Structure 1
C-alpha cells in the first residue's frame, strides 16, 4: 500500500519513543558501590553535553573533562559572526566555562590539558598540561572520546606563510581579527565554499573587505545539488564576490615586494590577497584512538555502534571524530554537525548510567546556512548521493511564496523533494529563499526521521495565518505534487531529463509554453517552444486534440502550476502530455540556454 497513514505513523512514533525511555536508576546511587569514574576527552558539543547529562543522571559519579584548548565549551558556529563583529564580545561565544561546570555540576574541568595516551588494559590515560608540559595519570571506568575534527590544511607550498588562517577555534578568530586590524585588510581569498567559507565571506564583505572564492568543485555548498545553489551564486556575485569554480589551489607565495599574499591555482591563475582563509573542511581527530588500538571505519573516523561504543566496551566516542550511519542511505559517513554531536553525548550518558536504553538513529545531515539575506537548507540525501549509490528515486521542484501572496512581503521559496518511487518515502529535501526556508525543511526533516512519505506531507496540518503561511503550506504543496506523481495523475519530467535538441528535431514532439505572451517578452523563453497561453487553452483544445494527436507534448509555465493544469487538460483530451517540473524558473536554475 502506498499511503503511509497516521495510524502507521503513530505506531512508528510510539515504538521509537519507547526506545528512548529514561535510563534505569544509576547503580552507583542504588547501592554502596564505588562511584564510577568517567573521563571525557574534549568538550564543546559532544563531550560537554555528555558530562552534563551524566551528572544529571548520576550524582555520585566522578566526572572529569580534559580539553586541550583554553575553552571547554564554546559556540564554534558563531566564529564567523564574531569575526564580522555581529557578535561583539568573545564571552558571548562561551557556552559554559570550567567554573560553571564545577559549580553547577560538580564536574572537574582541566582546560589546556591534552590526553596523550590511553592504556586500555589498565584503564588509565596520561594527560599533559600544554603550558607546563607536566604529565599525570588518571584511571577510568568509562572513557568518552570527543576530540572533534582538525581543520584540513594540505601540505601545499607556502601554506604556513603569515596571513593564512583556518577558522576552527576562538584563538583562530582572534588571530583573524587582529590581522585585519593590523594589516588594514582590503582583499581576502577564501578557499572552500562550504558552510564556514560562505559565512566568512558574508561577514568579511559586511566589514568592507572584497572577497574572492576559490573552489575546486563547480558550485558552493557541495552537499547540495548544483541547480539549488544557483540563487546563491547569483547573490554572491551581486555582492561583488568573485567566484572561481573548478579550480584548486596549488600553493601560496608572498605578494610583490613582500606585501600580501598570492594564491596560485592548478588552473594557472594567481589571486592577490591581504589575507587567506583556508576553510576546505575538517578531518576527524583520531590519533589518540588509533594509537590506543581502537577500530577505525572506512571513512577514517572512529568506528562506533548505535550506543556510541567503540571496539572497546569501556570506551565511547562522539562528535566530529566518529563515523555514523546515514539515516537515509545506511552508509557510514562523517557528519560534523553540532546537533548530532549533542545527541550522541546524551546517549552515551544514558548508556553508562542505565545499560542499554538509548540508541543513535543515525544522522540525516540536516543543515542550514544564511547568506546576504538568503537561506539555504537541506535534509536527507541529495540527488548526487542517490545517483552515486544507484538508488531509485523521483524528484519534484516547487517555487512558491512562503506565505499568502495577498499579504505584503511574500517571498519565493525554491524547493526540491526527493522520494522513493515505490512507496513515496521521503529521501531528501533542499530549499533556498529569503524567508521561511528552514521552517519548511525542518518539517520535512521530522517527517523523514519518522519514516514519512510524500502522502504525509500532503496531509500535514501546519500553522496558518496569512503572514506566516498559506492554507496549503509549501510543505503541503510539494507533498501534493509528489503524491500526484505517485498516483499517476501528474505526468512529470525534469529539465535535466529532456533532450531539447531531440524534441526540436522530432516532428512528433512538441515543447509547449503555457505562459502569457507578455511574460515571455519580460522573463525569457526556451528556444523552439510553442506558446499556448493557459488563459485561452481550453477554447483551443478541440483543434489541438485533432492537430497534435500522437505527439508527445512537453509542457511548462513559469513555476509549474499552470503547466500542471494545462497537462491535465491535454491528458483529459487524450493527448500525450507531461509537465516539466518547476517550469521556467527551474530551467534558469539548471543553466539551460535560453532566448
Structure 2
C-alpha cells in the first residue's frame, strides 16, 4: 500500500487528503498538523471577535475524528515536521517533545504561512497578539473578556488587519490601525482604497497611514507604540497583521528548492524539484495568470483548487495549475471592496502601455428602490485591448462585477468581450446596460477615438492661459463641491451657451460620473473645440 504524507491541514492539505481518498481507497494517508486544529475557517476568525460568528465551534470545518470516520485519514495534530530527508523519503516529526521518523511514497507540503514578526524592539512583549489560527483567536478572546480593555491597536492595513479592526470596533473597542504604506490594502490603487479608508474612519476607526512602528513598550499594563515620526500611540492590546511569510524553515536542508523568501518552488504540476514531492497553498510561488511572473498569493480559493490538482497528479491524472490572478474581496463595515488581476501600480512597474477608466454605475436599475452606486476602476492593455485588472467598491454588486471580470481574465478577454457579454438583468438585480457592458463600451469609445480622457491627477497641470475646466452638472450639484477653477454650464444649457467658451483653449469637461462629460465632449468637438473628458467625473476625485 502506497503512503502519502501531508504536512499541514487547513485548506490545501485537507483538500488534498479528502480528494485522494475519494479517488483511491487503497492509499495510506497521514495528515500531519503542527497545531491543535486540522481544518478551520481561518478567513472567518476576525468575525468571531465581534460575535458576528457567535459559535467558535462553527469555525472548525473538520476534526481528526470526523476525517478518520468519513475518509479513513490518519490525522495527527500537534505533530510538527522538523526535517525532510528527500533522498530516503522520510521525515522527522516532533510530538509533545518526542521525535520519531515516518516514511513516505509521496510527500505533500502544505505548511502554509506564519505571521510576519519583524525585529522591532519590544514586539514580543505582553498583550501583543497575532491572528493566524484558532489558538491565536482564543488568546485574543480571553484578553477581550477583561473589562479594562478599551483601546486596541492593529498593526498593518492588509485584509486581516482591516477585518480585525472592524470587528474590534464593532465589539465596542476603540481601535487604531497603523499602516507603514501611504494606503491600506495593497491590491487596490489609492483612489479606490481611499473609499474604504473613509468608511473605516466614518465608523470610528482611527487610521494612521504612512506611519512606521519603531518600538513597543509596556507601561502600566498597556502597550506604548513609538512611531518613526516621533508620535506615540497607546492601547490595551495590539494585534500584529503586518503580513505573512512561508512557514518553510524545516525544509532548508531537504534538497527542495526554495525562493529567496523561503517559498517552495514548484512546476505547473505543483511538483517540487524532487519527484513525488508536491507543494501547494500559501507556502509556494505560482505564476501570475496575467503576467506569467512568480508571485505569492495567499488565498483560500487557490489553495483548495491546488489541493485537488495535487491529489489528481499523485493519481497520475496529469493536471496542471495554470496560475492565479489574486481575485479578492473584503467587507469594510457597510462597503465591499473587491479586486482582480493587476492594479495600476503593478502595470507601471511592468512597463506595459495601458489605458484606465473609471465609472460609477448603480448596482441595479435606478428606478427600482434601493439602488446604490459602485465605484469601478478597470485597466486594459493598449495594444491587445486585453483586460488586465479591475477594482470595485460599493454597498452591493462589487463582488459580482469583479467575479465577471475575473472570468474574462481567465479567458484572456478584451474590452470588446466586455461589451458583448450577455448578462442577467432584471430591475432588482442589474441594469439593462450592466456595469460590465458599460466598461466595454467606454473602452471601445476610447479605442475608436470617440473620447480623449484626462484624469483627476492631471488637474495639477492646469494653466488658466491654456485650459478651461468645464463643469456640466446641474447648478444644485455644484453645492457638494467642484474642481478648482471650474466654470459651470449645465449640459442642458450647453447647446445655447457654447459660444461662451473660447476656442483657443483646451476644455476639460466633467460631470458627476463621466457620462454627461462625454456627451459634452462629443458635442463640443463636433464644433471644432479641443476637449478632454475628466474620467469618472467629480466622483473620482482623489484623496488630497
Give the TM-score, by structure 2 length.
Answer: 0.98
1:513 matched to 2:474: no
Which piece of structure 1 moves more, 72-81 or 565-574? 565-574
Q: Report the Cα offset of residue 136 of structure 1.
A: 2.1
SS in 2 for 1:387: helix
**In structure 1, C-alpha distance between the alignment counterparts of 2:264 and 2:161, rounded to whole Å:** 26
Counterpart in the other structure of 1:106: 72
Counterpart in the other structure of 2:34: 68
Is residue 126–residue 218 contact of structure 2 (8 Å, CA) maintained in 1? no
Pairs within 5 Å for 1:153-168: 153-168=117-132
Kindly provide the CA deviation profile for residues 462-507 of structure 1, in whole angstroms up to 9, marking residues without a partner as x.
11111111111111112211121122222222112x244x433333
* Residue 553 of structure 1, aligned match among 507, 510, 515: 507
Is residue 504–residue 528 contact of structure 1 (8 Å, CA) maintained in 2? no
**In structure 1, C-alpha distance between the alignment counterparts of 2:403 and 2:459, rounded to whole Å:** 35
* Residue 577 of structure 1, aligned match among 498, 521, 531: 531
Which piece of structure 1 moves more, 555-564 or 295-304? 295-304
Kindly provide the CA deviation profile for residues 87-145 of structure 1, in whole angstroms up to 9, marking residues without a partner as x.
1222101111111211111111111111111111111111111x2x2222211111000
SS in 2 for 1:354: coil
Cα RMSD for the two superposed structures: 1.4
* Residue 145 of structure 2, aligned match among 181, 192, 217: 181
* Residue 478 of structure 1, aligned match among 427, 430, 439: 439
SS in 2 for 1:377: strand
SS in 2 for 1:505: coil
**In structure 1, C-alpha distance between the alignment counterparts of 2:83 and 2:185, rounded to whole Å:** 37
The unaligned stretches of length 5 or more in structure 2 are none
Kindly provide the CA deviation profile for residues 393-444 of structure 1, in whole angstroms up to 9, marking residues without a partner as x.
1100001111111111111100000001112101000000111110111011
Counterpart in the other structure of 1:530: 487
Pairs within 5 Å for 1:118-129: 118-129=84-95
Q: Report the Cα offset of residue 79 of structure 1.
A: 0.6
Is residue 465–residue 505 contact of structure 2 (8 Å, CA) maintained in 1? no
Is residue 396–residue 417 contact of structure 1 (8 Å, CA) maintained in 2? yes
Q: Report the Cα offset of residue 183 of structure 1.
A: 5.1
SS in 1 for 2:361: strand
1:467 matched to 2:428: yes
Counterpart in the other structure of 1:362: 323
* Residue 281 of structure 2, aligned match among 303, 309, 319: 319
Kindly provide the CA deviation profile for residues 506-538 of structure 1, in whole angstroms up to 9, marking residues without a partner as x.
33x222111122211x21111212222100112
Pairs within 5 Å for 1:494-505: 494-496=455-457, 498-500=458-460, 502-505=461-464
SS in 2 for 1:365: coil
Pairs within 5 Å for 1:394-413: 394-413=355-374
Aligned length: 544
**In structure 1, C-alpha distance between the alignment counterparts of 2:434 and 2:272, rounded to whole Å:** 44
Relative CO higher for 1 or 2, CA cutoff 8 Å, sep ≥ 6? Answer: 1
The unaligned stretches of length 5 or more in structure 1 are 1-34
Pairs within 5 Å for 1:143-292: 143-182=107-146, 184-255=148-219, 258-292=220-254
SS in 2 for 1:77: helix
Q: Report the Cα offset of residue 540 of structure 1.
A: 3.4
**In structure 2, C-alpha distance between the alignment counterparts of 1:278 and 1:417, rounded to whole Å:** 32
* Residue 539 of structure 1, aligned match among 478, 492, 496: 496
**In structure 1, C-alpha distance between the alignment counterparts of 2:354 and 2:520, rounded to whole Å:** 25
Is residue 148–residue 320 contact of structure 1 (8 Å, CA) maintained in 2? yes
SS in 1 for 2:336: strand
Q: Report the Cα offset of residue 231 of structure 1.
A: 1.5
* Residue 393 of structure 2, aligned match among 432, 438, 456: 432
Kindly provide the CA deviation profile for residues 164-204 of structure 1, in whole angstroms up to 9, marking residues without a partner as x.
00000101111001011135310001110111111111111
Q: Report the Cα offset of residue 236 of structure 1.
A: 1.3
SS in 2 for 1:419: strand
Give the TM-score, by structure 1 length.
Answer: 0.89
1:444 matched to 2:395: no
Q: Report the Cα offset of residue 301 of structure 1.
A: 0.9
Counterpart in the other structure of 1:422: 383
Kindly provide the CA deviation profile for residues 192-243 of structure 1, in whole angstroms up to 9, marking residues without a partner as x.
0111111111111111100111110111112210000111111111112111
Distance 1:225 1:326, change over 3 A: same
SS in 2 for 1:485: helix
**In structure 1, C-alpha distance between the alignment counterparts of 2:6 and 2:304, rounded to whole Å:** 14
Counterpart in the other structure of 1:51: 17
